Amino acid sequence: VNIKPMEWAGGQLNMLDQRLLPLREEWITLRSWEEVAEAIRTMVVRGAPAIGIAAAYGMVLAARDGVEREVARQGLAASRPTAVNLFWALDRICSLPEWSFERVFKEAREIELEDLQCNLAIGHHGNDLIEPDARILTVCNTGSLATAGHGTALGVIRTAHYEGKELFVYACETRPRLQGLKLTAWELQKEGIPFQSIADSAAASLMRAGKVDLVIAGADRIAANGDTANKIGTYSLAVLAKHHGIPFYIAAPTSTLDPTIATGDLIPIEERSCEEITHIEGVQMAPTDCATFNPAFDVTPGDLITAIITDEGIFRGPYNFARVEAAAR
Ligand code: MRU
């Protein structure tokens, strides 16, 4: 199934508005780098690789409009702090010798196409870890919507499904923004992969009942020691998996590795608005003026991660991505 979160066409960036899915499939048109930054901030587009690609196209619009490169870079970099793919893509564009529409467009296109290739490679490697009848628990949305296509953790599930494996997926709803319930369920349904959406709080009892063979999640930033920032709630799943003796995998492209950060303690964790907790779809659930704490991500320590599946292969702890990155260059 061909799902894309964005498409460059006719000199503008069209984006599927993920805030409206699954009930409405509407595309919006972004005409300036500022509009792209706003779309990332407000989560029209989300998912680490997808926001990196969006930022790259934001730079294309800036180059076309004669905006100073550093102005656009800083503006786009301020949109969301945790996913390193955003900064990785901006750095890649800014290290080009030329600041022209043609050159930046070529690079943005390459970033997008490379991400799709990475996801197919992640799917290929990850498929080796999936039994023919595996029951898989996943969180958030790590599919085509979160990437250039195919997906990371959901990409492994997709590949295994395409290989004819008879999978069953438990998709955690992923409060507060419900990316699992809205987006992952939408993608799984389109693929015809059997699944059930579950409340996040149902994971422990499912594992205890022996209904989960493995957990697989994506990543927003992986520190040199393998500590992994991902959607809030991922860490709880890793602790639960450890307790129940279930493998816990992270799937991510090498653009999500941050070798400059030694441990997860140094990863900046985005805190989002109070309304994401107190309201659901604009309807107030909490008492007026209820205080909230709303971190969008948590960090799973590397020692709870059975393996990290990347486009370059499967890594097992103790992780040292500072070395891997150096070797890859
Ligand atoms: O806040 P979001 O929806 O951007 O968070 C997304 C996630 O946490 C994903 O798991 C991660 O970005 C990997 S997407 C392939």
Distances (CA, A) of 323 to 91, 122, 247, 250, 328: 20, 20, 25, 19, 9
Atom 15 of ligand 1 has which residue's CA nearest to it? 142
pLDDT at 26: 98
pLDDT at 190: 98
> How far away, in angstroms, is 265 Cα from ligand 1 center?
19
pLDDT above 70 coverage of the chain, percent? 98
Structural contact between residues 135 and 142, judged by C-beta atoms closer than 8 angstroms: no
* Global confidence as pTM: 0.97
Q: What are phi and psi of 250, to 5 degrees?
A: -110, 135
pLDDT tens digits, 115-150? 999 999 999 999 999 999 999 999 999 999 999 999
Pocket test for ligand 1, best of 6, 17, 41, 46 (most atoms within 8 A of CB): 46
Amino acid 133 reads: D
Residues with CB under 6 A from ligand 1: 46-49, 83, 140, 142, 146-147, 152, 179, 218-220, 230-231, 296
pLDDT tens digits, 145-194? 999 999 999 999 999 999 999 999 999 999 999 999 999 999 999 999 99
Provide the 8-state DSSP code for 271: B
pLDDT category at 322 given cuts 50, 70, 90 is confident
* CA-closest candidate to residue 257, choices 210, 221, 287: 221
Pocket test for ligand 1, best of 85, 87, 139, 230 (most atoms within 8 A of CB): 230
Atom number, ligand 1, closest to the C-alpha of residue 151: 15
**Is 328 a residue whose pLDDT tops 60?**
no
pLDDT at 296: 98
> How far away, in angstroms, is 134 Cα from ligand 1 center?
23
pLDDT above 90 coverage of the chain, percent? 96
Mean pLDDT over 198-215 rounds to: 98
> How far away, in angstroms, is 220 Cα from ligand 1 center?
6
Active site residues: 220
Mean pLDDT over 19-38 rounds to: 98
pLDDT at 1: 84
- Sheet of 168-172: strand order equals 195-198, 168-172, 135-138, 214-217, 248-251, 307-310, 313-315
pLDDT tens digits, 63-114? 999 999 999 999 999 999 999 999 999 999 999 999 999 999 999 999 999 9
Atom 8 of ligand 1 has which residue's CA nearest to it? 231
**Is 327 a residue whose pLDDT tops 50?**
no
Atom number, ligand 1, closest to the C-alpha of residue 296: 1
Q: Which residues of 111-120 are buried (b: 16+ CB within 10 A; e: fewer)?
A: bbebbbebbb
pLDDT at 12: 93
> How far away, in angstroms, is 189 Cα from ligand 1 center?
19
pLDDT at 329: 38
d(CA 158, CA 150): 7
- Count of CB atoms situated within 10 Å of the CB of 326: 10
